[in-house]
Every structure is written in C-alpha cells, then in structure tokens.
C-alpha cells in the first residue's frame, strides 16, 4: 500500500491542502491503515471504520488545536490520530507502540483530554467553552459523542446544562444505531424517528433539552459533512449536529455484525477469523453457566449489565436464554445499581455484573441506594486486578479502596473457582446486605484447601498453621502468598502461617489476636492500591501491639501500560524480595 495522501499528512493543516474531491481517496487510505494495525494488533474496529469521513471533515473545516475537539469515548479516534501527526502508528508496524487506544494529551496537543470512559464529552466541552469565555479565549468547542454514550447520566446532565448556555458549543452526535451491544433506553426510539424523518419529526430529545439541532443523513459522505460543519462553525450558541453513520463501514462483516466487531482481536482479513483462539475455561464462562443453571430453579435472580455484557461473559445466546431474568440498561451504571436495589426490595435477587473500572461510576448509588437501604445486591466485579490491566483509564486496582470503606458493604475476595462459586451462591441467596464480589483475574485456579462456606461475619481461613511469620494473602494474591510462605519456610526453617482472609471489609479480630501469641511478623498481600485497602486496616489494628506488619500492594497512582512482572518486582511482590524485607527488620 502506497498511502499517497496519508504519508504527506503531518498535521491538520496538511488535510486542508488536499482537494475536496480527493478526500474519498484519503478515506480509503485511512481504512487500509486501520486494517494494517487492527488485523495484526487488534483494537476498536467498528467505531473507527464508521468515523473515517467525519474525522476528515472535522479536520478539514475546523482548526485544531485552536478549535478544541473532545471525543467520547475516544475509542474512535484512530483516524484523528492519523490526521494529527501519528499516521505511522497505523502504517508502520514498527511504530504500533507509539499510540494508545484513546486520546491522551501526552501524545498530542490535538488530544484535549485523557479519556477512556463514555459519556463525558459534553460536560467537559461545556467547561472548555465557559473557560474560553471567562479568559477571553477564541475558537470553537466541539464534542463528538456516539449514540451509545448518550444514555449515560453525565452525558444527559451535560446536554441539559448545555441547553441553557449562550455561547459557541457544537455537539456532534455520531449515530451509528449501536452501543457496544444493542442500544437500550427510550431515547433510542426518538433517535430512530429522527433518522426516519430526516431530523424533522416533531418530538426531539435535543430540542426538548433546549438545544438547537440539525441533521445529516450522509454521515459517510465527506462533502455532506464538510457542508454541515461549515454551516455551524463559529456559531454563537450550542447546537447538536446529528450525523447518521454506519458502524464498521467498509468491511461487510463488521457492517453486519456490529456487536462482534465493536472491538476485534488480531484477525484474518479474508475470513474474519481471529488469529488466536481461547477456548479454555474462564470466569466469564463459569459465571454464565452457573447463573443459567441456577435460573432453572430460581426465577427471582436478575442479572443486570450496563452495555458491556460481552465483557462479563454474557453472549447474545446466553442473554436470550435468560429472558426476563436479564436486563441490559445500556450505558447507565447508576440506573443499573439503583434498579438492583429496587429489585432486591421487591423480593428479587439482583446481580450487577460489570468491570471494576466502570463501577467507579456507582460509588454514590452503592452507598445511598444500596448499602444504606441494606439491599442484598451483588456487585459482580470483573478486572479488579493488576492482571490484565491496560492503560490508566481502566485502573481496576482501585476497587478495594473504593468499595471496602463504604458502610454496610461486604467485600469478598475469592481465591479459586470453587470459592468464587460458593461466595456467589452465598451472595445471591442471602438477604441482609450488599456484596461486592471481586472475580479472580489470575486465571482459573482450583482450591488448594477446602472451601469454607461460612460467610456470616468476617472469618479468615487459616490454611497453614506455622509460627513467627504469618502471610495474609487476599483474593487474587493468595497463590503468591502460598509461594511466599513456602519460600520463607524453606529459607528460615520454620513453617509459616498462611491465611486466606476472604474479606476486604472488616477484620477477623479473633484470628488476628490469636496470631499474637507466636508470631512476630505479619505480611499482607493484596491485588490493589495500598491506600484505603486491606493491609492498612490490619496495620492499624496491630498498631499498639508487639508485632511488625508489612503491607504489600500498589501505589496510589495511575498505572499506565502495566507489564505485570515488572510492576510486581517494583512493588517487591516476590517471595525473594519479601523475605529480604522482613529479614532486614
């Protein structure tokens, strides 16, 4: 591939040099570059293929960075990156590592924010607009938000507030008729009416929020888009430009199966088949199978997701089998959580299954709607771990500090498949309090010790009774704890006590007290940030006792591009380094 145009683009000013009638050729080159990277490295597929023409038109008409773009959720910005000096990261395999998957000011002045969660763009853009005005600045502020992101509370608050502003603000709604899975929420009926009527139907969500509005049907036609953007450039009030695009445009398989091709692993362009396949057991499949089995005898269980069913193991097939016992609320985590509280109060058994990084959106709802009301909701938390953590926008290791300090909650950390299932059953069937269940992320391990199924009250499980040194190894890090205990036992010649704490909330004071008689050193291990976590509670409890406590976990920082082994070493999370530490004191 020659990349005649793309190779000449070092920034948006070079896009403007291309004659308008040649821009479709640039679009073709961008799609080829996307194929080059995505077939080999994987990434967000459908969103980027759909945004090619719109991105060209944005950079053709506006003047970034003087005009400010805020992309939502920024997973559709590969074409934007290509047009702002980063084309090599798509064309040249040796440069794949130059860019991350989202906008990031550290990469380019054309990226306004580091963004990786949905529904934030409109609110951020209202701030850019207001900040521009009070500081006497200039330029357009343009938020680009997908239809799927519109259902999020922050986006709706943003649209509503924008509706009373009296200044330049352009909100481009990229409507590809799809969230990650199908859209959910009544507003999507209105978007469908708007598309059908060419934007002319009487009822209009955006106008009902006080916003001006225009519609563009040909969202994959560069000229139509250029015309529309020229007309709204330098406008003196907020306006929504509703653009109809095709998700996955340019690859028939992706146009047809939009959910599967939202994100793609490396794949064969001819066949569409992924290059690597994983068909082993995973907690996703274990969860789905277990719930389907339980539903046979208990129709009061309801699994709720917020737009990421695939990420928690609920394929289209599993969802259809669950029927009314499954609810996807779309991108609306607050709704999911409060709805679960209502389901519990009405006698149902709700499970909100999501990723830890998205659960940070429901701190308030877990506190107020759920815990304060003693609603027996299970928050089934995936990826609350250093294992599989990606970049700083998706930082699962915050989970313990985030949830374990909320009153009324019980935070459970299983160490094996069998313990996970026992805790899941307990959580679903009890009626007294909410449970946050941190799904293990270090692969599917089988229980090395009998699973203790007494979960009422905080009781630790003493797996090995030793002396001198005790290891309290929580959840994911239990296997590390076993290795540490064995290593120290060998080196010191004294058997080490190994404990599975099972809970990140509360303390088993009886067990902690019992250790005092013949232990001098307590080591805590947790797969999370130390601040606000499990180990610090243990240290505080032992603060006035004659025992030394060593807390191991992660720093309070936005870890980026984590390589697990390196981070573990850096945090001294290895048997050798831990032994070195405790020996030296």
Q: Which residues 184-243 are close enough to bind a copy of itself by CB under 8 A?
A: 184-190, 202-205, 207-211
Query: What distance in Å separates the CA atoms of residue 508 and residue 526, rounded to the nearest whole number?
Result: 16
Angle between helices 222-232 and 23-41 (to 10 degrees): 110
Among 39, 224, 360, 574, binds a copy of itself (CB under 8 A): 360
Q: How many Å from the N-terminal Cα to the C-terminal Cα in the chain?
A: 62
CB of 433 to a copy of itself, least distance (A): 12
Query: What distance in Å separates the CA atoms of residue 210 and residue 194, rounded to the nearest whole number?
Result: 16
Among 24, 342, 479, 487, binds a copy of itself (CB under 8 A): 342
Stretch that binds a copy of itself, among 4-12, 116-124, 427-435, 483-491 (CB under 8 A): 116-124
Residue placing its CB nearer to a copy of itself in the complex, 57 or 582: 582
Count of residues interacting with a copy of itself (CB under 8 A)? 123
Q: Does 19 bind a copy of itself (CB under 8 A)?
A: no
Residue 464 backbone dihedrals phi, psi, to 5 degrees: -135, 130
Stretch that binds a copy of itself, among 9-17, 401-409, 475-483, 569-577 (CB under 8 A): 401-409
CB of 317 to a copy of itself, least distance (A): 21
Q: Does 146 bind a copy of itself (CB under 8 A)?
A: no
Decide: 15 and 81 in contact? Cβ < 8 Å: no
Q: Does 552 bind a copy of itself (CB under 8 A)?
A: no
Residue placing its CB nearer to a copy of itself in the complex, 4 or 556: 556
| Beta strand residue intervals within 163-290, DSSP E | 169-175, 212-216, 238-244, 263-264
Decide: 490 and 483 in contact? Cβ < 8 Å: no
Query: What distance in Å separates the CA atoms of residue 449 and residue 419, rounded to the nearest whole number?
Result: 10
Q: Does 152 bind a copy of itself (CB under 8 A)?
A: yes
Q: Does 123 bind a copy of itself (CB under 8 A)?
A: yes
Kindly give, in sequence order, each residue whose CB lies less than 8 Å from that of residue 329, ignoring residues fewer than 6 positions away. Answer: 151, 184, 185, 304, 305, 306, 307, 335, 336, 339
Query: What distance in Å separates the CA atoms of residue 115 and residue 77, rounded to the nearest whole number?
Result: 11
Among 324, 446, 517, 563, binds a copy of itself (CB under 8 A): 324
Q: Does 10 bind a copy of itself (CB under 8 A)?
A: no
Estimate to the nearest angstrom the gap between the alpha carbon of 312 and the chain centroid. Answer: 11
CB of 33 to a copy of itself, least distance (A): 28
Q: What angle do CA 145, 146, 148 make, to 5 degrees?
A: 130
Q: Does 376 bind a copy of itself (CB under 8 A)?
A: no
Query: What distance in Å separates the CA atoms of residue 6 and residue 288, rounded to the nearest whole number?
Result: 45
By residue count, the chain amounts to 585
Angle between helices 52-61 and 23-41 (to 10 degrees): 130
Residue placing its CB nearer to a copy of itself in the complex, 89 or 171: 171
Residue placing its CB nearer to a copy of itself in the complex, 154 or 442: 154
Report residue 334 as tokens: 């607050």
CB of 63 to a copy of itself, least distance (A): 16
Among 237, 345, 459, 571, binds a copy of itself (CB under 8 A): 345
Q: Which of 478, 424, 95 is nearest to 286 (CA)?
A: 424
Residue placing its CB nearer to a copy of itself in the complex, 255 or 334: 334
Among 302, 314, 379, 485, binds a copy of itself (CB under 8 A): 302
Query: What distance in Å separates the CA atoms of residue 406 and residue 364, rounded to the nearest whole number?
Result: 10
Decide: 463 and 498 in contact? Cβ < 8 Å: yes
Among 114, 215, 287, 455, binds a copy of itself (CB under 8 A): 114
Angle between helices 417-429 and 283-295 (to 10 degrees): 40
CB of 105 to a copy of itself, least distance (A): 7
Radius of gyration for the alpha carbons in the chain, expressed in angstroms and rounded: 26
Stretch that binds a copy of itself, among 283-291, 430-438, 485-493, 536-544 (CB under 8 A): 536-544
Q: Does 296 bind a copy of itself (CB under 8 A)?
A: no
Q: Which positions from 35 through 74 interact with a copy of itself, judged by CB under 8 A?
A: 68, 70
Among 124, 312, 488, 525, binds a copy of itself (CB under 8 A): 124
Among 1, 8, 20, 131, binds a copy of itself (CB under 8 A): 131
Decide: 40 and 265 in contact? Cβ < 8 Å: no
Q: Does 344 bind a copy of itself (CB under 8 A)?
A: yes
Residue placing its CB nearer to a copy of itself in the complex, 18 or 165: 165
Stretch that binds a copy of itself, among 311-319, 331-339, 428-436, 485-493 (CB under 8 A): 331-339
């Amino acid at each position: 591939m020659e990349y005649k145009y793309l190779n000449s683009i070092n920034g948006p000013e070079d896009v403007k040099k291309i004659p308008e009638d040649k821009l479709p050729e640039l679009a073709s080159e961008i799609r080829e570059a996307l194929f080059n990277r995505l077939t080999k490295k994987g990434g967000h597929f459908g969103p980027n293929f759909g945004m090619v023409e719109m991105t060209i038109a944005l950079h053709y008409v506006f003047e970034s960075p003087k005009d400010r773009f805020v992309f939502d959720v920024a997973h559709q910005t590969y074409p934007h990156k290509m047009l702002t000096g980063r084309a090599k990261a798509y064309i040249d395999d040796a440069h794949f590592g130059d860019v991350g998957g989202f906008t990031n000011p550290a990469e380019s002045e054309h990226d306004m924010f580091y963004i990786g969660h949905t529904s934030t763009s409109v609110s951020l853009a209202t701030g850019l607009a207001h900040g521009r005005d009070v500081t006497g600045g200039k330029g357009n502020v343009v938020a680009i938000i997908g239809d799927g992101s519109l259902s999020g509370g922050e986006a709706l608050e943003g649209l509503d507030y924008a509706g009373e502003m009296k200044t330049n603000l352009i909100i481009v709604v990229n409507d590809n008729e799809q969230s990650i899975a199908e859209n959910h929420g009544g507003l999507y009926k209105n978007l469908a009416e708007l598309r059908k009527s060419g934007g002319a139907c009487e009822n209009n969500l955006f106008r009902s929020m006080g916003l001006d509005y225009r519609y563009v049907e040909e969202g994959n036609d560069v000229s139509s888009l250029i015309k529309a953007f020229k007309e709204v450039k330098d406008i003196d009030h907020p306006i929504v430009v509703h653009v109809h695009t095709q998700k996955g445009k340019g690859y028939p398989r992706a146009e047809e199966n939009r959910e599967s091709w939202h994100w793609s692993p490396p794949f064969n362009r001819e066949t569409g088949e992924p290059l690597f396949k994983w068909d082993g057991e995973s907690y996703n499949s274990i969860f789905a199978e277990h719930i389907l089995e339980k539903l046979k005898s208990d129709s009061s269980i309801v699994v709720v997701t917020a737009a990421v069913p695939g990420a928690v193991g609920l394929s289209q097939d599993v969802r259809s089998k669950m029927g009314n016992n499954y609810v996807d609320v779309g991108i609306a985590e607050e709704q999911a959580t409060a709805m679960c509280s209502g389901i519990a109060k009405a006698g149902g058994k709700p499970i909100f299954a999501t990723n830890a990084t998205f659960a940070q959106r429901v701190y308030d709802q877990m506190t107020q709607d759920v815990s304060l009301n003693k609603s027996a909701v299970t928050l089934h938390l995936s990826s609350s771990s250093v294992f599989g953590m990606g970049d700083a926008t998706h930082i699962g290791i915050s989970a313990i500090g985030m949830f374990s300090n909320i009153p009324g909650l019980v935070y459970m950390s299983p160490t094996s498949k069998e313990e996970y299932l026992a805790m899941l059953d307990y959580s679903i069937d009890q009626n007294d309090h909410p449970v946050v269940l941190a799904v293990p992320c270090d692969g599917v391990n089988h229980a090395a010790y009998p699973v203790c199924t007494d979960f009422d009250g905080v009781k630790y499980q003493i797996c090995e009774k030793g002396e001198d040194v005790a290891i309290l190894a929580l959840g994911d890090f239990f296997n590390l704890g076993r290795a540490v205990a064995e290593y120290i036992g060998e080196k010191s010649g004294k058997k080490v006590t190994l404990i599975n704490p099972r809970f990140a909330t509360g303390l088993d004071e009886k067990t902690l007290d019992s250790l005092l008689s013949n232990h001098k050193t307590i080591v805590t291990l947790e797969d999370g940030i130390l601040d606000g976590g499990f180990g610090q509670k243990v240290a505080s409890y032992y603060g006035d006792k004659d025992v030394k406590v060593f807390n191991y976990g992660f720093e309070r920082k936005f870890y980026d591009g984590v390589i697990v082994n390196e981070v573990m070493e850096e945090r001294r999370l290895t048997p050798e380094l831990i032994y070195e530490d405790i020996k030296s004191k």
